[in-house]
Amino acid sequence: MTLTLLDWLAIGGYLLITLLLGLYFRGRSGKSTEDYFVSGRSVSWWLAGTSMVATTFAADTPLVVTGLVYRQGIAGNWLWWCFLPSGMMTVFLFARLWRRSGLLTDVQLAEIRYSGKPAAFLRGFRALYLGLLMNCLILGWVTKAMTGIVSTTLGVSERSALAICVLFLMPFTGIYVTLGGLWGVLWTDLFQFVLKMGIVIAVAWYGVSAVGGMSSLVRKLAEMRVAAGNNAGDITAFFPDFSRPLTAEPLWTLPVLAFVVYLGLQWWAFWYPGAEPGGGGYIAQRIFSARDERNGLFSVLWFNIAHYALRPWPWILAALAAVVLYPHIQQPENAYMLVITQHTPQALRGIIIAGFLAAFMSTIATQLNWGASYLVADFYRRFLKRDGDEKHYVMVSRLATLLLVVVSAYVSAQLGSIVAGWQVVLTIGAGTGGVYLLRWYWWRINAWSEISAMATALVVTVILRWVTPLSGSGLVLFAKSALVTTAATTVVWVIVTLLTKPEPDDVLVKFYRHVRPHVSGWQPIARIASDVQPSRDLGRNLTCWILGCAMVYAALFGIGSLCFGHLLKGFGLLLIAAFCAAAISPLLKPQGGPQLRRAPAA
């Protein structure tokens, strides 16, 4: 790809805007760690929610979706569509609880929910595990993907592209994150999200146009299916082919077993960045930054609507066009970049590259700020230096951000030797989700519940991978491993919970008073704290959860149906989505307690 002076000006203009935003918010972020990490808890829902959407739109996301569609059809996207129930559960069952907790990071929950050395160990361990190990692996993975994009667009070697990412893009992102804190991250995310969405819509438009339009695209895909015979499914189907055997893996079809595991197990049992069971990570950080419970809830609601219903189709349409344009490519993920380099106008190349920079930097920025919050608030301040002033901790926070830049740059440079380790880390959290959900709603969960769940998942993952591997390949093997790991982990943590002592009454009473979870699972504690008005909103919240899932899935498939010209089906599904939204609205109003308290605007 040859870049003109205008292309370089577009790229330079984008970088300048992000730097200016970081400089602008330097004063607001430097007052305290609360300002640096959660923006003084004064963020509106639309800004916090859009930042979540921007963070989950990494540079490699369109490429990954292209690979899924190329191999398993549109239904392959259930790999991540299945996390919607988890996201909606965070909206209606956990967002208000997180906001009431008043925490700086979700890891701090360990020491307000549990007590003693087990709680302290859990907090410190998770701070290092998530803030350093997992965070740097995520940063390294995203950087590795960006390396391929830079190599393709600039026509340089992989080594030179890696140097550009490691020595320029990551340090540059670290600079504006270090200067602006979360305020800088939020506003650059907003700018970057608008830019990224404009780019992917344009790529989808030009990709489909290169095929001859939507009608031509659908016709050619149907012809390719006929040519492939019975060994191919319908690439445009939204669901797997249930008429096939559970473990069948024909072309353009998601195995039914994988779909069952995704939708029946993965969303609640697996820890996944941005879709943690019960909320957590940078999702919790954005909730903490919201100005009140109402803004916290609506920020996550907007995130789930935009993430699952509004954003996927430009990626999917470009991927379908790539299937027709490049039917025999060995690395399907690269087909997305070929659509860009061969079918978009030369005048847009600089803006497109700026869009990929935005996708890369928005994810990097959040991971840096979020990871530094763990290292400083949950490890350094908690275990190493407890008597510093706020200026000291802000300075250490900025140093921690720079440390993450250096470590993640090293990880990305070495990623070729640790890809297998990264894949293992993704499965280590299988089965732990039940604890993360129930710790809010059942008083009997204790620190040993979480510790035993994490340890069991790790041990079972190692055994299945290196000692007695299960039969099968690809998605089928993953599905079997997930079932075994989740079952073993769940049995162990339930037994450990029942055999160990509950947390002390004073700790549980303090947590109950502060967070006010639904009373049913806290009856023994509610009797002690009889002066606290009990919350009885679980049934209403579960109703909202079901309606919310139906709303977003109906909108997702309604928009998809309209894209393929199925007008009656598309508008019918959108009407269902609108009905669900109307049904949710009155249920969100406060009933019997301060469920959605408003705070003064900051």
Question: Using CA atoms in the order 484, 429, 309, 37, what is the torsion angle rounded to 10 degrees?
Answer: 170
Q: For residue 418, what pLDDT is reported?
A: 39
Is residue 512 within 8 A of residue 532, CB to CB? The reply is yes
Q: Give tens-digit pLDDT for 509-547.
A: 999 999 999 999 999 999 999 999 999 999 999 999 999
Give the architecture-level CATH label for domain 5-414.
Answer: Up-down Bundle (1.20)
Q: What is the 3-state secondary structure (H, E, C) of 494-548?
A: HHHHHHCCCCCHHHHHHHHHHHCCEHHHHHHHHHHCCCCCCECCHHHHHHHHHHH
Angle of CA points 322, 327, 331, to nearest 5°:
75
Q: For residue 573, what pLDDT is reported?
A: 97
Q: How far is CA 588 from the centre of its chain?
A: 25
Q: For residue 598, what pLDDT is reported?
A: 40
* φ/ψ (deg, to 5) at 279: 85, 165
Most confident of 34-48, 458-472, 574-588: 574-588
Mean pLDDT across the stretch 116-144? 86
Residue at 228: amino acid letter: A
423 pLDDT higher than 90: no
593 pLDDT higher than 60: no
In angstroms, the CA 322 to CA 333 distance is 10
Is residue 284 within 8 A of residue 105, CB to CB? The reply is yes
- Measure Cα distances from 29 to 26, 186, 358 in Å: 5, 12, 22
In angstroms, the CA 552 to CA 371 distance is 30
Residue at 175: amino acid letter: I
Q: Give tens-digit pLDDT for 454-478.
A: 889 888 887 887 776 666 666 777 7
Q: Report which DSSP code applies to 77.
A: G
Nearest residue to 424 (alpha-carbon basis) of 454, 455, 471, 465: 465
Most confident of 15-19, 118-122, 385-389: 118-122
Residue at 144: amino acid letter: K
Nearest residue to 437 (alpha-carbon basis) of 244, 240, 249, 270: 270
Q: What residue spans define the domains of the chain?
A: 5-414, 544-602
433 pLDDT higher than 80: yes
Q: Report which DSSP code applies to 551.
A: H
Q: Which residue has the tokens 């960006």?
A: 146
Nearest residue to 451 (alpha-carbon basis) of 132, 110, 131, 128: 110
* φ/ψ (deg, to 5) at 470: -75, 160
Q: For residue 479, what pLDDT is reported?
A: 77
Q: What contacts 162, CB < 8 A, 6 or more positions away?
A: 143, 147, 412, 413
Q: Is 42 helix (H, G, I), strand (E, B) or coil?
A: coil
Nearest residue to 428 (alpha-carbon basis) of 383, 389, 474, 481: 481
Q: Is 564 helix (H, G, I), strand (E, B) or coil?
A: coil
